[in-house]
């Protein structure tokens, strides 16, 4: 799992990074709100931890901008103890949960597990990019034409659409889509990318999946027939 | 009663046979080139006079040999069924290159399916044949409609045909909705099989 940590206190950041990495998270650490917004715009994260009191852009402003850019990644806010307004404003700005400083690392880890678990259930039923629509429940991809997708194709397409323009590593996709199949051949990811490429083309979608076998893939606008 | 097709009636099966031969030759040339036959089967039919008469009226034309042969384009119909999607487009490409053939129009219901889910590639051709046509030209230009589709598209179309011509189907709306769904599922299989085939041949 890939996590973005925005915390300006160097010492706390260092401790959190160590604890998170120990749990198997891949962590990108930044130290102000503006850097968090920039990172979130180019990378696909499974969750984000944002401190509210940060230089160059506070955590709530950063979160608001991240949400306005269409990012649905679960976010946990770190708030100071006394600030009720921060907690309310933070949740209203699109945070999924908050934790009041000081906190126990075990609780942070449990809350991260909780918000990433919930993410799957909260995915919207329809994702739209330009004129391309993915109906997640019906497993239907449509543009000029409509086509049915398999369950795995739908999940993969959903990840690509939720992270439009961002690079997604084969290994991460394999981990999210084929989590239950421990013995899966890593080449399966490429085969499914091929299915989706042909299916995007067959519905006349103006979207392209960039990337080579084994590398990172990226869904971008343009390149199609529409 | 005189035939709706008038004195041209005896030539229609000959036109159909000639086009069928040309299409089968395309398939054979492709088999020699790649080792894979691209055509599953070809079927031809001459439109029955009754349904031609009905179609003329429906389209607002006087039922006459001229209407049947020039205004309506499917007096001679040829259906070409392939196994894979790429083969269907390959045959369409080859048909465009045929000598003595003019493309009147093309409709791509594969890339842009009809709202009910129908998929097929339609081409209207005017083929030069030695027989004098209704415009008095020798050799004449004879209009034929070619429908290109995969086996899956063909099977679906025959099912849809059964729905369309059966009276009082129970739950007709639901059945139509399910037909649309299954059309999109079959399209998905067609595309997946094409993808797998491309992967096999890429390595």
Q: How far is B155 from chain A (nearest CA, A)?
A: 17
Same-domain check for residues A96 and A133: no
Same-domain check for residues A114 and A16: yes
User: Does the residue A31 lie in any domain?
Assistant: yes
Domain edge (last residue) among A58, A90, A121: A121
Same-domain check for residues A146 and A65: no
Q: Which residues of chain A make contact with B113, given a CB cutoff of 8 A? A: 145-146
pLDDT at position A123 is 65
Same-domain check for residues A9 and A110: yes
Check if B21 contacts A (Cβ < 8 Å).
Answer: no
**B191 to A195: CB separation less than 8 angstroms, yes or no:** yes
Same-domain check for residues A196 and A133: yes
Same-domain check for residues A23 and A95: yes
B 41-80 residues with CB < 8 A to A: none
Per the structure, the count of domains in chain A is 2
- Report pTM: 0.77
User: Does the residue A173 lie in any domain?
Assistant: yes
A209, A196 Cβ separation under 8 angstroms: yes
Q: Could you give the C-alpha distances from A180 to A1, A177, B107, in angstroms and in order? A: 15, 8, 44
Give A25's Cβ-side CA count (13 Å radius).
24
What's the pLDDT tens digit per position in B7-49?
999 999 999 999 999 999 999 999 999 998 899 999 999 999 9
* Rounded mean pLDDT for each run of 10 residues along chain A, 226 residues in total: 93 94 94 95 93 92 91 90 84 92 93 82 80 93 93 94 92 87 84 94 95 94 69
ipTM: 0.76
Give the nearest chain B residue to A141 (CA atoms): B184
**B181 to A148: CB separation less than 8 angstroms, yes or no:** yes
Domain edge (last residue) among A91, A121, A151: A121
Q: Which residues of chain B make contact with A193, given a CB cutoff of 8 A? A: none
- pLDDT above 70 covers what percent of chain B? 100
Check if B91 contacts A (Cβ < 8 Å).
Answer: no
Listed range (A71-80, B167-176, B183-192) with the worst mean pLDDT? B167-176
User: Does the residue A141 lie in any domain?
Assistant: yes
- Residue indicated by tokens 């893939």: A217
What's the pLDDT tens digit per position in A124-174?
788 999 999 999 989 999 999 999 999 999 999 999 998 999 999 998 899
Residue A211 lies in domain: 126-221
Q: How far is A177 from chain B (nearest CA, A)?
A: 18
Give the nearest chain A residue to B118 (CA atoms): A145
Same-domain check for residues A114 and A9: yes
User: Does the residue A226 lie in any domain?
Assistant: no
User: Does the residue A78 lie in any domain?
Assistant: yes
A147: nearest CB among B187, B198, B199: B187
Same-domain check for residues A18 and A90: yes
Q: How far is B53 from chain A (nearest CA, A)?
A: 34
Helix (H, G, I), strand (E, B) or coil at B135: coil
Predicted confidence band of residue B1 (pLDDT cuts 50, 70, 90): low
Q: Which residues of chain A make contact with B85, given a CB cutoff of 8 A? A: 202
CATH 3.30.460.10 correct for B6-151: yes
Same-domain check for residues A117 and A139: no
Interface of A with B (CB under 8 A): 140, 144-150, 191, 194-195, 197-199, 202, 204, 225
Give the nearest chain B residue to A203 (CA atoms): B111
B78, B84 Cβ separation under 8 angstroms: no
CATH number, domain with residue A39: 3.40.50.2300
Task: Give, to the nearest 10 degrees, the angle between helix B172-202 and helix B85-97.
Answer: 80
Same-domain check for residues A115 and A133: no
Mean pLDDT of B140-147: 97
**A202 to B191: CB separation less than 8 angstroms, yes or no:** yes
Domain edge (last residue) among A121, A141, A161: A121
Residue A89 has a CB neighbour count (10 Å cut-off) of: 18
pLDDT at position A226 is 44
Same-domain check for residues A33 and A139: no
φ/ψ (deg, to 5) at B156: -60, -45
Listed range (A32-36, B60-64, B120-124, B177-181) with the worst mean pLDDT? B177-181
pLDDT tops 80 at residue B203 = no
**A199 to B198: CB separation less than 8 angstroms, yes or no:** no
CATH number, domain with residue A149: 1.10.10.10
User: Does the residue A36 lie in any domain?
Assistant: yes
Same-domain check for residues A54 and A106: yes
């Amino acid at each position: 799992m890939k996590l973005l940590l925005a915390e300006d206190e160097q010492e706390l950041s260092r401790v959190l990074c160590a604890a998170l990495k120990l749990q198997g998270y891949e962590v990108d650490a930044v130290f102000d709100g503006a850097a968090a917004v920039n990172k979130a715009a180019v990378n696909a994260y499974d969750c984000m931890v944002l401190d509210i009191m940060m230089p160059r852009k506070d955590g709530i402003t950063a979160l608001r901008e991240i949400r306005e850019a269409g990012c649905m990644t679960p976010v946990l806010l770190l708030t100071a103890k006394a600030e009720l307004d921060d907690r309310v404003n933070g949740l209203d700005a699109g945070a999924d949960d908050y934790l009041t400083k000081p906190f126990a690392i075990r609780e942070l880890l449990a809350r991260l597990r909780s918000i990433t678990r919930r993410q799957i259930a909260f995915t919207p039923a329809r994702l739209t990019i330009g004129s391309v629509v993915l109906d997640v429940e019906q497993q239907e991809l449509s543009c000029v034409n409509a086509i049915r997708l398999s369950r795995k194709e739908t999940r993969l397409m959903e990840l690509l659409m939720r992270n439009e323009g961002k690079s997604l590593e084969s290994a991460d996709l394999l981990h999210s889509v084929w989590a239950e199949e421990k013995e899966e051949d890593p080449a399966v990811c490429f085969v499914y990318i091929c299915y989706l490429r042909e299916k995007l083309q067959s519905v006349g979608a103006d979207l392209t999946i960039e990337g080579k076998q084994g590398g990172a893939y990226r869904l971008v606008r343009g390149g199609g027939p529409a | 009663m005189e035939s709706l097709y008038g004195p041209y009636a005896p030539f229609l099966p000959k036109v159909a046979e000639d086009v069928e031969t040309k299409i089968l030759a395309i398939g054979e040339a492709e088999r020699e080139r790649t080792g894979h036959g691209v055509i599953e089967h070809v079927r031809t039919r001459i439109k029955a006079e009754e349904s031609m008469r009905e179609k003329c009226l429906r389209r607002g034309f006087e039922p006459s040999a001229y209407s049947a042969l020039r205004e309506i384009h499917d007096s001679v119909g040829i259906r070409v069924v392939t196994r894979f999607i790429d083969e269907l487009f390959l045959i369409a490409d080859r048909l465009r290159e045929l000598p003595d053939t003019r493309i009147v129009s093309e409709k791509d219901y594969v890339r842009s399916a009809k709202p009910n889910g129908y998929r097929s590639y339609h081409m209207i051709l005017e083929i030069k044949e030695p027989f004098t046509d209704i415009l008095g030209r020798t050799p004449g230009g004879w209009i034929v409609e070619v429908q290109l589709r995969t086996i899956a598209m063909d099977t679906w179309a025959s099912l849809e045909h059964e729905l369309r011509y059966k009276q009082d189907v129970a739950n007709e709306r639901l059945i139509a909705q399910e037909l649309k769904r299954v059309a999109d599922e079959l399209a998905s299989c067609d595309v997946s099989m094409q993808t797998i085939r491309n992967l096999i041949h890429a390595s």
